[in-house]
């Protein structure tokens, strides 16, 4: 089992390109199932979660080719409607395939994704709203047995929470539906807009993505397309946190600064100097970060829950005490005990974490507990004096193609062993 080894305490300087967004590519790969032809996808990150999504597509009968960051998927001959349990277990967000498989084959069988490291992750909103569009879904012994007797039919959908995954599933299901679907209280994340752009480039009629009302006029079929995935705003925010804790000056290329507004605002409050222009973000930190009096994770365009762990790790070395409130997931603080091994002072209760900044962290052996929690440990290790080794880095690889390569480009002493 490989580990990441960091010799912390060094300033970061340098430039790097940010990879394509994991949270965009996964629903877009699911959506390729709607196209009885070829989708060419550029800027596709090389991630274990993407491998799982490609395995699902191959299992369903699609022909998948990958050359570096370009993936071609041909879904002409879909001949299966079942996602194996082993693949569902590897990636909870495989539920986003449900609407696509149903739309394409009229049936679907998959295991219910259940919980994960972040706590219970229900899929009730996915199921309820696909049912409204015409799916029949039976939950039986941990499996979802689904049929679509009369095809999807456009309807008005009211999401009780602006769930990213449920919005995506409904958008995909509605694309080839009969009639018009309107999603009220839709998620507004940039990845939703990327999914709409992909589907529209193939002939779909989706309007309003990025706002809280999305209108989808069903079309009969989609055609071949080519699409470039947006950059990963969570990876960018991780490296912003890294320079925040280490000091130095870094340039992130292939970013969309407007999509990082919530994080940029927080970084500025901590004392970072930020220069943004089209596609580029320069982040400099000259002193120890300042505290953040209170930071609440929110749905977009608020501060993203996935950027919380790396930013919290940065604030362990802030001057003063910061308060975090996690509003999206129940169980996001599993990594905190590991950060404490580096000497961080953090108390958690329920959704709240109180981080008392200290002037020095010390390297220690730690273990990643989940994807973004793992990224927090990398940030903590970079800011700690001495050697930090991080175990269970398979979690980190789900969302960072090569965090070691990236941080080396910024001058960090980091390696994978």
Looking at 307-414, list the stretches that DSSP marks H as alpha helix, in order from N- to C-terminal side. 308-315, 336-340, 371-383, 394-397, 403-409
Q: Is 271 left (phi over 0), alpha (psi -120 to 50) or beta?
A: left
CB 192, min distance to ligand UD1, A: 9
Active site residue 80: no
Tokens at residue 359, please?
């002037």
CA–CA separation, 256 and 286 (whole Å): 24
Q: Nearer to ligand UD1 by C-beta: 5 or 130? A: 130
Does residue 25 bind ligand UD1 (CB under 6 A)? no
Does residue 328 bind ligand UD1 (CB under 6 A)? yes
Q: Nearer to ligand UD1 by C-beta: 9 or 165? A: 165
> Site map for ligand UD1, 254-293, x if CB under 6 A?
----------------------------------------
CA–CA separation, 129 and 385 (whole Å): 51
- The beta-carbon contacts of 135-144 under 8 Å, at least 24 apart in sequence, are 135/102, 135/173, 139/112, 142/111, 142/112, 142/114, 143/109, 143/110, 143/111, 143/112, 144/98, 144/108, 144/109, 144/110, 144/111, 144/112
Closest CA to 23 of 253, 215, 259, 240: 259
Q: Nearer to ligand UD1 by C-beta: 185 or 321? A: 185
Q: Environment class of residue 34 by beta-carbon count within 10 Å: exposed (0-12), middle (13-18) or buried (19+)?
A: buried
Residues 76-95 that bind ligand UD1 (CB under 6 A): 93
Does residue 157 bind ligand UD1 (CB under 6 A)? no
Residues 109-128 that bind ligand UD1 (CB under 6 A): 121-126
CA–CA separation, 215 and 177 (whole Å): 12
CB 193, min distance to ligand UD1, A: 13
Does residue 161 bind ligand UD1 (CB under 6 A)? yes
Closest CA to 292 of 270, 261, 314, 317: 270
CB 251, min distance to ligand UD1, A: 25
Q: Nearer to ligand UD1 by C-beta: 86 or 160? A: 160
Residues 167-226 that bind ligand UD1 (CB under 6 A): 191
Tokens at residue 100, please?
């696509």
CB 170, min distance to ligand UD1, A: 11
Q: Nearer to ligand UD1 by C-beta: 127 or 246? A: 127
Q: Nearer to ligand UD1 by C-beta: 292 or 299? A: 299
Does residue 311 bind ligand UD1 (CB under 6 A)? no
Q: Nearer to ligand UD1 by C-beta: 117 or 248? A: 117
Tokens at residue 178, please?
């009969």
Element (H or E) spanning 24, and its range? helix 22-31
CB 372, min distance to ligand UD1, A: 8
CA–CA separation, 241 and 263 (whole Å): 9
CB 125, min distance to ligand UD1, A: 3
CB 295, min distance to ligand UD1, A: 15
Catalytic position from the list 116, 146, 358, 394: 116
Tokens at residue 118, please?
């972040």
Q: Which residues are catalytic?
A: 116
- Summarize as ranges the residues that interact with ligand UD1 (CB under 6 A): 23, 26, 93, 121-126, 161, 163-166, 191, 305-306, 328-329
């Amino acid at each position: 089992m490989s580990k990441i080894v960091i010799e912390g305490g060094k300033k970061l300087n340098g430039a790097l390109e940010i990879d394509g967004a994991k949270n965009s590519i996964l629903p877009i790969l699911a959506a390729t199932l709607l196209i009885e032809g070829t989708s060419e996808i550029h800027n596709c990150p090389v991630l274990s979660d993407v491998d799982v999504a490609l395995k699902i597509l191959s299992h369903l009968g699609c022909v998948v080719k990958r050359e570096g960051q370009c993936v071609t998927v041909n879904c002409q001959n879909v001949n299966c409607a079942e996602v194996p349990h082993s693949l569902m277990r590897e990636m909870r967000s495989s539920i986003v395939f449900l609407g696509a498989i149903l739309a394409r084959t009229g049936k679907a069988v998959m295991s219910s994704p259940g919980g994960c490291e972040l706590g219970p992750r229900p899929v009730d909103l996915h199921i309820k709203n696909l049912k409204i569009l015409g799916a029949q879904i039976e939950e039986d012994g941990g499996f979802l047995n689904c049929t679509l007797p009369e095809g999807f039919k456009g309807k008005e959908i009211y999401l009780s929470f602006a769930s990213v995954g449920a919005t995506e599933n409904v958008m995909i299901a509605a694309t080839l539906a009969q009639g018009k679907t309107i999603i009220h209280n839709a998620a507004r994340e940039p990845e939703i807009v990327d999914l709409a752009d992909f589907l529209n480039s193939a002939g779909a009629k989706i309007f309003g993505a990025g706002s809280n009302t999305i209108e989808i006029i069903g079309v009969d079929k989609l055609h071949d397309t080519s699409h470039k995935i947006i950059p990963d705003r969570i990876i960018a925010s991780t490296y912003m946190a890294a320079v925040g804790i280490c000091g130095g000056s870094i340039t992130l290329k292939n970013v969309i600064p407007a999509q990082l507004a919530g994080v940029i605002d927080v970084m500025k409050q901590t004392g970072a100097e930020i220069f943004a222009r089209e596609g580029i973000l320069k982040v400099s930190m000259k002193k120890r970060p300042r505290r953040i009096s209170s930071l609440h994770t929110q749905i977009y365009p608020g501060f993203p829950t996935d950027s919380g762990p790396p930013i919290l790790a940065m604030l362990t070395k802030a001057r003063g005490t910061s308060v975090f409130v996690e509003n999206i997931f129940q169980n996001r603080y599993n990594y905190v005990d590991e950060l404490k091994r580096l000497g961080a002072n953090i108390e958690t209760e329920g959704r709240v974490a109180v981080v008392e900044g200290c002037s020095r962290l010390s390297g220690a052996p730690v273990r990643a507990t989940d994807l973004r929690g793992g990224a927090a440990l990398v940030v903590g290790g970079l800011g700690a004096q001495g050697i930090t080794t991080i175990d269970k880095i398979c979690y980190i690889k789900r969302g960072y193609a090569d965090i070691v390569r990236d941080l080396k480009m910024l001058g960090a002493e980091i390696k994978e062993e």
